Amino acid sequence: MDGTSRDGTSRDGKSARGKRKGAGRKSAPPAHAPWPDRMAPDSILGVEAITRFEHGDLNDICDAAEDAIDAGGGFGWLRAPDRTMLESYWRGVLVVPERILIVARIDRTICGAAQLVRPAPNNEARAFAVQLEHAFIAPWARGHGLARMLMEKAEVLARNEGFDVIALDVRATQDRAISLYESMGYVRWGRNPFYARVEGKPVAGLYYWKDLNAAPGAAPDAASGAAPGDGTDGPG
């Protein structure tokens, strides 16, 4: 796992899975004890791509997803589904050949995730581009740079697999995510005013791409108006 401690050092992380609420749930700490106050100064923050769930991981990623959905996150769900359905969803992600699951951890506890989606084998015309979907950090784990770490890891993996472009889409209401993407050089190429419907009202979606071969700080090719990735409900 790519990890750093809060004081800039690296060490073997201790499990934080004891911090759960109820049977197998951890979720957000109570208001009187915010998560940052419960983190040791040398807590490990890390991201990694996984191909299987270790002990406790499935509960942790379901907890984090539920909190993100309840806070207006993504996945297309407007409210957290039944836990059995959520567990089946995450198990399914790991068996889809086109998907790479990247998770974020605090002291080994999963608190966020993102997915890279390779193009289908028959989509040769777009074999150069990979889609980033369903990126999130649980509300109780935000503010420590994990979202940026997830994005950086996704870009490294995409380059290692030979992709030239990474594309993503996001609800226009996700200000923090939009700010992050644009600060990392993602170029907005489109807007769909009917991207999603929340509480009966349309919510716009924004579409982004990034040239993975461009030199850092290089100006993007604004002339490229073609959509590099499919517009699926992504990191909103």
45-63 pLDDT, tens digit per residue, is: 999 999 999 999 999 999 9
State yes or no: pLDDT of 131 exceeds 70.
yes
State yes or no: pLDDT of 228 exceeds 60.
no
Give residue-wise pLDDT tens across range 20-39.
443 444 444 433 334 555 45
Q: Which pLDDT belongs to residue 117?
A: 98
Q: Which pLDDT belongs to residue 98?
A: 96
Q: Which pTM does this prediction carry?
A: 0.79
Mean per-residue pLDDT for 147-165? 98
- 148-153 long-range contacts (CB < 8 A, ≥24 apart) are 148/180, 148/184, 149/2, 149/45, 149/46, 149/47, 149/104, 150/47, 150/102, 150/104, 150/112, 150/113, 150/114, 151/114, 151/180, 151/181, 151/184, 152/47, 153/2, 153/47, 153/48, 153/49, 153/102
Which of 69-73, 162-166, 211-215, 224-228 has the weakest average pLDDT? 224-228
- Which CATH number applies to 2-211? 3.40.630.30
